[in-house]
Chain A
């Protein structure tokens, strides 16, 4: 099963993400965002962070999760390299993120948007399209 793919967007960046379940979708979305325009690690992961995110529904959870990663990278100058989602409910998730000191952040993504966001159930699991503001 594919993890993610970039889709065209005139002004910003967008990608389609897949997952057999919500945990896989959240993990693949984080990997997609990093692949799209994330900072590149300069060293091996040196620490892990516990992240807890809430949202009024699964779409909000997805956006809030990705924005949490952006916050760590831009405010704390960390590079997030590995993502382990170990608890997911409709309004709540917990994850462990591997990080390394990234130095100057190279990411150009300002935020993850809700534009036309809707999680779709497919025969293989879940998919969603996300637009990020750059």
Chain B
């Protein structure tokens, strides 16, 4: 059992479970939270899952949990784990089924007030143009060769086909294409599942949301990103759909044997892994990169369909509704990066499972025009609540492998949320607060009730105070499209 007595306070909002807590831990486990968020994390198995990740071969520094930590499977959600290469491992279960699940933010120069009379029309067009639900099919029918290009090139394929602009790519993590993708390591079944799903939202906690920029905390930084108070913003939250799910499933199943072959002993079978530079580790990495590129392309096509929906609803009626991309970030991914560990630059494989890359000013991987500012970080709240735009910091580079939180984090199970909340009542309640909701499933809506989540403002306040993310703006929802 793990209780409050096993957790040491290191500094304000910084907690640690020492390596001595369990014999199989290779590094301490570190949790960033205020007192209440720590107490919430102790209500389920989140912290045990965090300790489990501290046992993985090659892990350096700490197993890290963000303030939005909650119980997942294998890794906790809100977890960051870096392994030293070449001997450190890569874990498909650590990345999860929705490879490169992430968030894209678009903004317009027009105000929400101007589009308010047309909001219902916008919401219905978004719902019609952006297919949702687990098995939904998208607008493109890709040949085998085209799918292979998407897996290899990600958003660049979208640029070639006219579904993206150069600015969209510039404002996407990895510029919309992660290196190392090789479709030879993606099963036929995964390709079959992905072929028809490009441009679809999926289900669960995935959404498209029309927002109002409710508050700006740093005018100069926000202006650099095109964010102004009162203006229109749109968020897309989704990932690699059935293709990513199948790739994870294929490799987690295969690695049940692989991990044993490498003599890796694990406290949880979902944590199966292989040395990064091994044949098995590399094959998973090639396949994962394909799913990551598919997800970048998926959010790009959805952005295109959203722009089309805005045009259909607003052309000739209001001005300045054109949507410009602020940024697109991944929050389920394993990436090869260089970080300082013990004063030395080390090549590591950073697993972010429900955590966001948050590179600070000066990072060479940022687009030229944002390099001195830092990377935009997008933190969606739970349905009907605020979301935040942050900027990556030097503090995140030093403390958390350039990572920060990813959202609110659940505190209530889906089953309990459904027992406590009726989907139709929630929809009406949100409508009375000026938030339109289009959802494919009322029970799915109930599962995502705001009461099932932690307070995102509190989560963001912790990372802001710790200096592993800097608040730039707050968004409030006016219309939500859910699978």
Contacts and interface: CB of A to CB of B under 8 A. Distances in A.
Interface residues of B, number: 44
B415 A12 contact: no
- Which of the four size classes fits the interface of chain A? 35 or more
A49 interface: no
Contact of B268 (A105, A107, A115, A133): A115
A115 B270 contact: yes
> Which of A10, A64, A107, A133 has the most chain B CB atoms closer than 10 A to its own CB?
A10
Interface in A92-114: 104-111, 113-114
Given A9-B71, A106-B441, A113 B413 contact: no
Contact of A108 (B96, B204, B411): B204
A113 B71 contact: no
A117 B203 contact: no
Contacts of A55: 253, 256
Contact of B133 (A10, A67, A75, A106): A106
Interface string A42-69: 0000000000000111011001100100
A4 to B, nearest CB: 14
Contact of B256 (A75, A107, A114): A114
A108 B415 contact: no
Contacts, number: 116
Contact of A133 (B97, B189, B193): B97
Nearest to A75: B193
Q: Is the interface of A mostly helix, strand, loop or mixed?
A: loop
B203 A108 contact: yes
A11 interface: yes
Interface string A115-134: 11100000000000001011
B70 A133 contact: no
B186 to A, nearest CB: 14
Contacts of A59: 256, 269
B270 A10 contact: no
A107 B425 CA distance: 22
Interface stretch (B215-223, B241-249, B312-320, B366-374): B241-249
A9 B189 contact: no
B28 to A, nearest CB: 23
B413 A110 contact: no
Interface string A72-103: 01110100000000000000000000000000
Contacts of A114: 73-74, 93, 252, 256, 268-270, 272
A11 B98 CA distance: 14
Contacts of B146: none
B428 interface: no
B256 A131 contact: no
A8 B413 contact: yes
7 contacts: A12-B414, A55-B256, A74-B135, A105-B134, A113-B74, A113-B97, A114-B73
Interface of B: 44, 46, 70-74, 77, 93, 96-98, 133-136, 189, 192-193, 203-204, 242, 245-246, 248-249, 252-253, 256-257, 268-270, 272, 410-416, 441, 444, 447
6 A-B pairs with least C-beta separation: A105-B135, A115-B73, A114-B269, A113-B73, A10-B71, A115-B270
